[in-house]
Structure formats: C-alpha cells, structure tokens
Amino acid sequence: MMLQFTEAGRRPLRQVNHLLFSAFLGSLLLTMVPLANAAPERTIAPASVFIDMEGQFAGRVHSVSGGYTKAQLGETYDDRSSSTLKRVTGLEVVDLEVYFGVDMAPSWWQWVSESMGAKPGLPRNMAVVGTDFDGQQMERLVLPQARIKQIEFPVFDRSNPQPVIFKVVITAGSSQYETLGGGSSPAVGRPNSRTRTDAFRFELGDLPTTKTARVTPPVFSIDFSNDSVGAYREPTPTVGSVNVGNMILAHPRIPGDQQQYMQWLQDLIQGRNSEESKLTSSLTLLDVDTRQDVMTIHFGEVGLVGIDPYQNSGIGPMTVMHIETYVDRMWVEMAR
C-alpha cells in the first residue's frame, strides 16, 4: 500500500522545519556576535621596536628576527633501551637580523661604519626593546658583546621609488629575554628624512654617472669563528676574514658614455688595470623634498670585473649596459 501525504499532513512538518532552521540560525548568530560583557582579545605583540646600545637610544627599526638562544643537539646510544637518544651538546644564539632606515642615532651609524672600516668585529652591548601602543616598554632581548656580521644595502633605482631600508646581521655569544613592567620609551631624537631609492647621486672616478639608472651596492660581511670550551661555556667570536662583494651598475647605452666605459674595459683586456687605475666611488642619498645630502656610502679602490653591453629584459631594444666592479673597502658617512 502506498502512503500519500495530504496538504494538511505536510503542514506540521513544515512548521517543525521552520522551527529547526530558526534555532540553527540563532545559534550561528550567537557564535558570530560577541557578548556584550565578553572581554576583548589582547595581543602581546609589540607595537614598535627600538635598539638600546650601551644604555642609549639608538633608533627605532622596521623589524627584527632571531637573537634567541637555542640548543645544539647530538646523539648518544643508550644501552638500557638499546636506542639512540638526543642530548644537548651546547647552546648557540641565532643571528639577529635588523631592518632599519636612515634615521638611526649617530652612535648606531658610527658602529656600522667602524665595523666596515678600521674596527671589524667591534663589540657593543645592545638590546632590542619592544613597546606597546602607548609607548610603554614590554620586553627586552639583551645581546651582550654583539658584533655586526653582515651589512646589506637596498638597490638604488631611479625608476623604482621604494623606502630606503638597510639590513644588518648581528652575532652574539649569549642572549637573554626579559619581560618588562612598563616605563616610557625614549623620544626618537632626530627628525625623519624623506629618503627613497630613486633619489641619489652616484660618482665613479671621472666616468659619466649622471644617467646611471641603477646601483646595486656590495654586500659587506665578516667571517667569525667561535672559540668555546665545554657544552655551556659562552663562545667568543673572533674575526676571520672581511669580505666586500661586487657592485653592479646599470647605465644607458649613450654613445659618448658607452665609449668611456668600454675604454675602461679595453684597459682591463690589455693589462693596464694596475692598482693605480682603480677608481674611488660614492653613492649619496638625497632628501626627496630638499634634495640635500643625507648619507654617503663610500667605495674605495673600485676595479672593473666586466661589462655586458647587451643587457636587456628580453623585451624591446637593448638600451642598458651592465657594469660589474669589485670593491676593496667601503664605509658610510652621515651628512652634518
């Protein structure tokens, strides 16, 4: 026998379905709308970070990572369990990476410049301090006897205006994390300069550079070796070697300019690239509004590696030549 539902029989089912759907919708809305007396979620991430160096304010930074202590692991064989067990063989501090702008304190730039010049591996007692939105100090990562390990500069490109952000890699033998109970952060101390990667002046000996389109500065780095005895003894970094990478230029194929650069290449090919033929070079950052000098990166004893006269992006005419140079030394100087 086939069952048949009349309209009157379906009506109670529809009413039940409506009630069930209304209950489901109400519970969904309750999960989406917070209760009036519910406490809002609170983040513990710092709103800003600044560098404390030797107890003095060294400037606010864009971001940081690393700087914490982690265990070095080894393996040992356990006779009782007939298995290999992991064990702590020592401690190491992960390199601290700091991204920052031009407007750091003079003490910071002095440390950077001296580390690149006469005092590689110069130690400084520093700390990374995080503050909340009210400027109260929340936390501190202390790095005693920290040393600059690597310095990276942005690419300066006249067709690609970007914020000028530098990067340093810092090594230390130990670190300590501290939770702070407050305390106002120091004032910035110096006004912000409006600098961009498209606002610069470049010089390379007597060669034409007013039309140089792009400059990729060298990466400066120091190789350290850590001397330590025992599993928990603090390692002492010692300077191994100082390395300055190559500098790459992009210059338009202007006939007169190209001829002068290609003559430099001919000198290299014909063996006339003596120590006396090395050039001095500099790149000066300019304030976007005032066009005043802000900072100069100096490159000492610049020699030619090679010139690619047909460099292009694969689209359109080959209008740019790439010049690769080596650099013996470099340092930075802030405008007065």
Q: What is the pLDDT of residues 52-83, one digit of tens each?
A: 999 999 999 999 999 999 998 998 887 787 78
Compute the residue count for the chain: 336
SS3 content of the chain, % helix, strand, coil (to 5): 15, 45, 40
- Give the amino acid at 13: L
Question: Is the C-alpha dihedral spanning 31, 35, 39, 45 positive or negative?
Answer: positive
Of 219, 240, 224, the residue nearest 299 (C-alpha): 219
Bridge partners, 203 (sequence order): 282
Q: Determine the 3-state secondary structure of 156 from DSSP.
A: strand
DSSP H or E stretch at residue 211: none
pTM: 0.79
Region 268-293 average pLDDT: 87
Of 241, 223, 247, the residue nearest 300 (C-alpha): 247
Q: What is the pLDDT of residues 104-143, one digit of tens each?
A: 999 999 999 999 988 999 999 999 999 988 888 889 999 9
Of 201, 323, 198, the residue nearest 257 (C-alpha): 323
Bridge partners, 326 (sequence order): 246, 303
